[in-house]
Structure 1
Amino acid sequence: MEAEASRGGLEGELIARMAKRQERRRQELLALALGVKIGCKGNLLWKPIKLLASCPQISSPVVRRSALKDTPEKLSSYEKIHNFKVHTFRGPHWCEYCANFMWGLIAQGVRCSDCGLNVHKQCSKLVPSDCQPDLRRIKKVYSCDLTTLVKAHNTTRPMVVDMCIREIELRGMKSEGLYRVSGFSEHIEDVRLAFDRDGEKADISGSAYADINIIAGALKLYLRDLPIPVITFDLYSKFIQAARLPNAESRLEAIHEGLLQLPPAHYETLRYLMAHLKRVTTFEKYNLMNAENLGIVFGPTLMQPPEQNALTTLNDMRQQKLVVQLMIEHEDVLF
């Protein structure tokens, strides 16, 4: 009897210890989302954090406000490498980095396609990542690098994402099968051409396109055609591995770590999109689109394997769906 009582006591102690460890992990994740460092100096903040962790209806707006507050800082840290290409200069030219003459008759140096900076080939390796794209050099909106477009327009996110989401939330949140039902491909192509031609002046209102699925399709096409996906090639495997973790809390922690490694423009675009998709799920009664369904739609759109292998994409579809589903469900904590 004493042995059984002792074993029962040990089991109870083990369960209590595991519960305490899980609670600690949950609180650490929330602290990360709030930007609070846990340590000696953070002890005074620990009680409010515990209160927020145990009260989702309070924590959600606080975390969201914290994310929005950080946006200007992220904008100022948007770095972009130069897009140098070999160039033949007509007439004498001097390197804008070392100020020395560019010798030769052809291919004397390189020029940045985005900002027009002219330098020697050897100097291009020394130039800092301070490219400031010139709008006159940006020929299109679709299929343009996300950071390039954002810096050229001096915005936190691509105008395509802002404008399409604004239009969808204005008149399409109750549309059955939103993002799942496809609009006419020729009309979606018209929207793409309008953005490429007119930029933020493109007309995507209801008078121009009554079917909201056309606008939803144009948004998906923009995200799908990015030369570097929103979840970058470099971080693709990290997110896939995170989705394969058996423990739910470990999955969230790993996804959060991956999000922090995204380039600022990609992070802000993803944050804004997930907040929108979370709002879409609140109209599930009408649009029949929950987080899982949206994950199926947006998984392959936001995540693409770097090797572009069809078999790899097929094998990873479940993980792609799960990553997006978790980001939607836990948007208020992960971002």
Structure 2
Amino acid sequence: MPEVSEEWSAAAAATFLAAFRRRLTNLRAVSLHGSGEEMERLWDPHCSEEMWLESESGCSLVPQKSKRDRKRQELLAMALGVKVNARASVLWQPLKLFAYSQITSLVRRAALRENENHFNYEKAHNFKVQTFRGPHWCEYCANFMWGLIAQGVRCSDCGLNVHKQCSKYVPNDCQPDLKRIKKVYCCDLTTLVKAHNTQRPMVVDMCIREIEERGLNSEGLYRVSGFTEHIEDVKMSFDRDGDKADISADTYADINIITGALKLYFRELPIPVITYDAYPKFIEAAKITNPESRLEAINEALLLLPPAHYETLRYLMTHLKKVTTNEKDNFMNAENLGIVFGPTLMRPPDQNTLTTLNDMRYQKLIVQLLIENEDVLF
């Protein structure tokens, strides 16, 4: 391949990045040794030193001693099919962000698709103190549970019974029982998808499918509210019937009822889609003024999300990007959707009113950037 010169036009640069992205998409066909989890750790920015090293004369990939770093470089070289040298520095900054985020995203999605029929999202047990009637044995250590009351703990999601001391050592392998999941709304997101063995909550899939079929051109989509009592009816229908709930146009002709039910689901999650643990990282990223550094920080914050939350957010952002493509009809651009979904998808851990008010502009900005850069960040 001929060397890249600084006289390349913007059109040529765009063509190069498009070809590069197609190469990245084919990475899934490459035989890589190790599990999806190991591949994901390979691209975790916190696992090792910065991959990208810049020399005084330009930007280049410098050989590293770490085996992980060498493997990173092999993957990137395989995706590029070129050697990035000092003369390519004019393209390096967009290339660096694009390459890192895309390979990270591909590895993450590959891990989510390890088995098409079963989604191995890790979930901790939800243990609560339990008083057992009659003799009981710990299902972890197989020893008898002594005492008359509060002999041990039981997982309210899967029914596992163990000693209180043993609960500290039980792995995060909870497999929720549908008989124990009484509701769809107000249920932990990971618990719900594991109980139903789906990638995402069925509420999200069904509502978005309905909205895209008949509502993308609706003026004020997601901004205009439906009747509260009808939204509550949809909620009760999902809680009662699960994926058999009827939200068709024959039952709910107003699409704003469906959008209201979807927003209500996200608001009532006990742990928001953007989790409390990841929230500070997203707010810090929103405060960065440099656009490139800000997107890199958002990409790192996305890696902190549990797999079920990440997949749900990815699917929602893809949908909202479609909404913005119909802006001429629905008058909803990325900024407007950010105002609507910012407080819906993100909540500060301390639930302090003053903190919430101060962070609202950053919440809006994060969702806006996720929508605008959906193809890069996810």
TM-score under structure 1 length normalisation: 0.84
Q: What residue identity is the alignment partner of 2:256?
A: N
Aligned match for 1:278, one of 314, 321, 324: 321
Is 2:249 the counterpart of 1:215? no
Query: Runs of at least 4 residues of structure 1 off by over 3 A?
Result: 30-38, 47-51, 61-71, 73-77
Aligned match for 1:39, one of 57, 63, 73: 73
Q: Distance in 1 between matches of 2:189 and 2:154?
A: 20
| Matched residue, 2:292 | 249
| Matched residue, 1:149 | 192
Q: Say what the alpha-carbon RMSD is for the aligned residues.
A: 2.8
Q: Distance in 1 between matches of 2:248 and 2:311?
A: 25
| Matched residue, 1:71 | 112
Give the helix-richer structure, 1 or 2. 1
| Matched residue, 1:182 | 225
Q: What residue identity is the alignment partner of 1:78?
A: Y
Identity of aligned residues (%): 73
Q: Which range moves more in the overlay, 207-216 or 69-78?
A: 69-78
The structure showing larger relative contact order (alpha-carbon pairs under 8 Å, at least 6 residues apart) is: 1
1:80/1:147 contact within 8 Å kept: yes
User: Structure 1 residues 41, 143: CA separation in 2 closer, same or farther (over 3 Å shift)?
Assistant: closer
Q: Distance in 2 between matches of 1:136 and 1:270?
A: 27
| Matched residue, 1:84 | 127
Structure 2: stretches of 5+ with no match in the other structure: 1-5, 7-12, 28-39, 44-70, 85-90, 96-101
Aligned match for 2:165, one of 122, 128, 131: 122
Q: What residue identity is the alignment partner of 1:71?
A: L
What's the offset of the Cα at 1:46?
2.5
What's the offset of the Cα at 1:310?
1.1
Aligned match for 1:96, one of 124, 134, 139: 139
Q: Distance in 2 between matches of 1:48 and 1:71?
A: 29
Describe how 1:156-171 pairs up with structure 2 within 5 A: 156-171=199-214
User: Structure 1 residues 305, 41: CA separation in 2 closer, same or farther (over 3 Å shift)?
Assistant: closer
| Matched residue, 1:205 | 248
Is 2:215 the counterpart of 1:172? yes
Question: After superposition, what is the alpha-carbon deviation per residue over 1:85-115, rounded to whole angstroms, capped at 9, x for unaligned?
Answer: 0111111111000101111111111100000
What secondary structure sits across from 2:278 in the alignment? helix
What's the offset of the Cα at 1:151?
0.3
Question: After superposition, what is the alpha-carbon deviation per residue over 1:95-144, rounded to whole angstroms, capped at 9, x for unaligned?
Answer: 00010111111111110000000011111111110000000000100000
1:89/1:107 contact within 8 Å kept: yes
| Matched residue, 1:228 | 271
Q: What residue identity is the alignment partner of 2:274?
A: I
What's the offset of the Cα at 1:72?
1.2
Question: After superposition, what is the alpha-carbon deviation per residue over 1:159-184, rounded to whole angstroms, capped at 9, x for unaligned?
Answer: 00000000000100000000000000
1:63/1:332 contact within 8 Å kept: no
Structure 1: stretches of 5+ with no match in the other structure: 1-15, 17-22, 55-60
Q: What residue identity is the alignment partner of 2:343?
A: P
Q: Distance in 1 between matches of 2:107 and 2:151?
A: 49
What secondary structure sits across from 2:113 in the alignment? helix
User: Structure 1 residues 230, 48: CA separation in 2 closer, same or farther (over 3 Å shift)?
Assistant: farther
User: Structure 1 residues 277, 66: CA separation in 2 closer, same or farther (over 3 Å shift)?
Assistant: farther
Q: Distance in 2 between matches of 1:217 and 1:209?
A: 12
What secondary structure sits across from 2:73 in the alignment? coil
Q: Distance in 2 between matches of 1:65 and 1:260?
A: 12
2:119/2:198 contact within 8 Å kept: no
Describe how 1:283-302 pairs up with structure 2 within 5 A: 283-302=326-345
What's the offset of the Cα at 1:39?
1.9
Is 2:259 the counterpart of 1:193? no
Q: What residue identity is the alignment partner of 2:243?
A: E
What's the offset of the Cα at 1:260?
1.2
TM-score under structure 2 length normalisation: 0.74
Question: After superposition, what is the alpha-carbon deviation per residue over 1:147-166, rounded to whole angstroms, capped at 9, x for unaligned?
Answer: 00000000010000000000
| Matched residue, 2:365 | 322
Question: After superposition, what is the alpha-carbon deviation per residue over 1:29-48, rounded to whole angstroms, capped at 9, x for unaligned?
Answer: x7999788652564353257
| Matched residue, 2:50 | none
1:63/1:333 contact within 8 Å kept: no
What secondary structure sits across from 2:128 in the alignment? strand
Q: What residue identity is the alignment partner of 1:43?
A: A
| Matched residue, 1:11 | none
| Matched residue, 2:351 | 308
